[in-house]
Copies of this chain bind each other. A is one copy, B any other.
């Protein structure tokens, strides 16, 4: 079905030119991305993950391979492929079950579905989901994932999956109740909605990064992980703004959160949103440098992986047709579509003060002195 004409010509409330991105991190991409994409699409087709050619085109337009190969620019190709497949599956789930913007996707149903997904990975053969391509594909992912991981690695993936589903359920609850969260709550929950820990679990796995648990779960590293996830989430909110601006419920994203809280228009909130994001990016860089000074070799690799996650996501969303030619405005993904973003060397907000919300205070408290 073609999008309505009035939408195809209407610019999003924040415009088509995103503010320049402050992201002083060198990007990288896995050299085998092209071959991996062919393998991923063959899998998607073999499992019939998409109902028709149009859905399939939009599935490919997620550029799941590009995303994964930027997050994981080197490492084990088979594990990287598995992560790509999970992402295809997750996007299909996201668009059909989670983040539909429909208030009829009740939290009770989302929670039920999510719980079944989590337990399918944890209890192989549990057969908790009804028949269908999403189920068959998940069964394959579970079998492959369990075969490719040690118990500790599997646990990392399973916890990451649960964390993502946890965030999705919270978001659904707000949609159902007609609630636009405030910044304080949004900061605390947004990294989970983005699946931060799921992506990072795969990054560690595919690259063989084995951070000693006492380091990985230390306050500083956990806070930095949330900080990275929040920056990526802010960027995702900007790139997603257009594609979700026709939903039944106003989309929960940083711009709308700030506009709602401050009683201004999305366009007016945009600069504030970028300031929030840039201030958090500044913290990421400072805290990462501090942690690196006393990090062991594996933690150093993890700190680097967080950087790949941030810059990789910007690069990916800039040219993924999912974001650059949004489905609510285009009948099919536009090849070569791009946001044509620009970059800047300094943050729009150079303040080193904590964001003025309680959940962020703990992030800044990890800084020495």
A residues with a Cβ closer than 8 A to B are: 106-109, 111-112, 115-116, 118-119, 122-128, 150-152, 154-155, 159, 162, 166, 169-170, 172-174, 176-177, 184-185, 188-189, 213-214, 216-219, 222, 226, 358-359, 361-362
Whether A188 contacts B362 by the Cβ 8 Å rule is no
- Given A106-B108, A119-B359, A128-B185, 7 more A-B residue pairs with CB atoms under 8 Å apart are A107-B107, A107-B108, A109-B177, A116-B188, A122-B222, A126-B359, A151-B217
By the criterion CB–CB under 8 Å, are A218 and B151 in contact?
Answer: yes
Tell me whether A170 and B218 are in contact in the complex, defined as CB-CB below 8 angstroms, given that A107-B107, A125-B362, A359-B128 are known contacts: no
Q: How many copies does the complex hold?
A: 2
A-B CB contact pairs (8 Å), 8 listed: A107-B173, A108-B173, A125-B361, A126-B188, A151-B216, A154-B217, A159-B159, A166-B166
Q: Across the interface, which residues of B come within 8 angstroms of A159, CB to CB? A: 159
In the assembled complex, which residues on chain B have CB atoms less than 8 Å from the CB atom of A216? 151
Q: Is chain A's binding surface mostly helix, strand, loop or mixed?
A: helix
A108–B105 CA distance with the chains assembled, in angstroms: 11
Pair B189/A119 contact, Cβ less than 8 Å? yes
Pick the contact of A107: B111, B124, B127, B218 (CB < 8 A).
B111
B107 and A151 within 8 A (CB): no
Cα–Cα, bound, A337→B147 (Å): 51
Q: Which residue of B lies closest to A155 (CB)?
A: B217
CA distance A362 to B124 in the complex (A): 7
Asked whether A115 lies within 8 Å of B170 as measured between CB atoms, the reply is yes
Top 6 closest A-B pairs, CB basis?
A: A108-B173, A151-B217, A127-B358, A107-B108, A126-B359, A115-B170
Partner of A188 from the list B128, B155, B214 (CB cut-off 8 Å) is B128
Which chain B positions have C-beta within 8 A of A116? 185, 188
In the complex, are the beta carbons of A213 and B358 less than 8 A apart? no
- The interface centre, meaning the residue of A112, A155, A184, A189 with most chain B CB atoms within 10 A of its CB, is A112
Contacts of A155 in B (CB 8 A): 213, 217
A358 to B127, CA, bound (A): 6
Contact across chains for B173 and A112 when beta carbons are under 8 A apart: yes
Shortest Cβ distance from A120 into B: residue:
B188
Among A111, A128, A214, chain B packs the most CB atoms within 10 A around the CB of: A111
A188: chain B residues at CB < 8 Å are 116, 119, 123, 126, 128
Does A111 lie within 8 Å of B109, measured CB to CB? no
| Contact (Cβ within 8 A) A176 B108 | yes
Say whether, besides A128-B185, A166-B118, A359 and B123 are in contact (CB < 8 Å).
Answer: yes
Name the B residues within 8 Å of A107 (CB-CB).
106-108, 111, 173
Structural contact, A213 and B126, CB atoms closer than 8 A:
no
Q: Are A123 and B362 in contact (CB under 8 A)?
A: yes
